[in-house]
Amino acid sequence: MVSKTILVVDDEESILESISGILEDEGYEVITASTGEQAIMRVNEFSPEVVILDVWLPGIDGLETLKIIMSSGKGPTVIMMSGHGTIDLAVQATRLGAYDFLEKPLSLEKLLILVQRAIEQQQLKKENQELKSTISHKTEIVGESTAICSLKDEIKRIGPTQGRVLILGESGTGKELVARAIHEASARHNNAFVEVNCAAIPQELIESELFGHEKGSFTGAFARKKGKFELAHNGTLFLDEIGDMALATQAKVLRIIISAGRRQQYH
């Protein structure tokens, strides 16, 4: 098993030695830095999975260091720590991208649990990126014909917009492929792509499927259920074969699409 690299950043040598020793005993590879500038250099050089970062540092402080690390593209999970922690400071660090916030004196047990969870988060993030890359490859539109090139250009033009898109075509011509390509070309590509085959859902269930329902809202509603519109929040909702829905349901869908479009929640 490959050892995970952890960067510990603190201007107190005793704290660096203490945390490093504990983490090394757990089998981690540990590197250290005593300033924000050194921390940024270590992140760029070693690409650690986790950074344990003190707030109060000489030179650029921990929050400014956190900003630079989060914008570096290296993607480590950052755990902040401080001997003068406040709720406001913890909230600020979290908003800047910190995974969690620890107060000094540190609970070594809590530290080890957080490090383990941070590494698990890194692994999930990596697996998600690999999965997205695989899916993207499988759904790539290939071809060099004039029609295909024109379609690709149109997708590139439409993707970054906030407009609703109507995709027309016979069954099997690749409407879902185009929808996924638009999603990948949009600023929403890191959020959900939710597909609904309107032709496969019974008419009496379609509204519950799309809009969800609250517990007890009708006989058999034993729990709250999120609808597809809610699940696609900040992502893309693909309504396949929308013409097969009842006209009354189509009218409701149109109303919510127009309303959501004004708030720019999803394609």
Residue given tokens 């950052």 in the structure block: 78
Residue 152 sits in the same domain as residue 215: yes
Residues 111, 126, 136: CA angle, nearest 5 degrees: 160
CATH number of 101's domain: 3.40.50.2300
pLDDT of residue 63: 94
Question: Rounded to whole angstroms, how far apart are CA atoms 66 and 45?
Answer: 16
- List Cα–Cα distances, 63 to 11, 16, 60, in angstroms: 15, 19, 8
Last residue of a domain, one of 88, 104, 135: 135
Range of the domain at 160: 144-263
Helices (H), the chain: 13-25, 36-46, 62-70, 87-95, 108-138, 146-158, 175-184, 203-211, 228-231, 247-263
Residue 114 sits in the same domain as residue 152: no
- Mean pLDDT, consecutive 10-residue stretches, the chain (267 aa), reads 85 94 94 96 92 94 94 86 83 91 90 92 78 64 89 92 88 88 89 87 83 76 80 89 86 80 54
Residues 179, 182, 185: CA angle, nearest 5 degrees: 155
Residues 72, 74, 75: CA angle, nearest 5 degrees: 105
Last residue of a domain, one of 81, 104, 135: 135
Total number of domains constituting the chain = 2
pLDDT of residue 55: 94
pLDDT of residue 226: 84
Helix or strand (DSSP H, E) at 238: strand 236-240
Residue 120 sits in the same domain as residue 26: yes
Residue 128 sits in the same domain as residue 235: no
Residue given tokens 């956190």 in the structure block: 66
Can you give the pTM of this predicted structure? 0.53
CATH number of 223's domain: 3.40.50.300
pLDDT of residue 23: 95
Last residue of a domain, one of 135, 169, 191: 135
Residue 36 sits in the same domain as residue 78: yes
pLDDT of residue 227: 86
Residue 117 sits in the same domain as residue 180: no
User: Cβ(257)–Cβ(237) under 8 Å?
Assistant: no
pLDDT of residue 57: 93
Which of 103, 115, 34 shows the shortest CA–CA distance to 76? 115
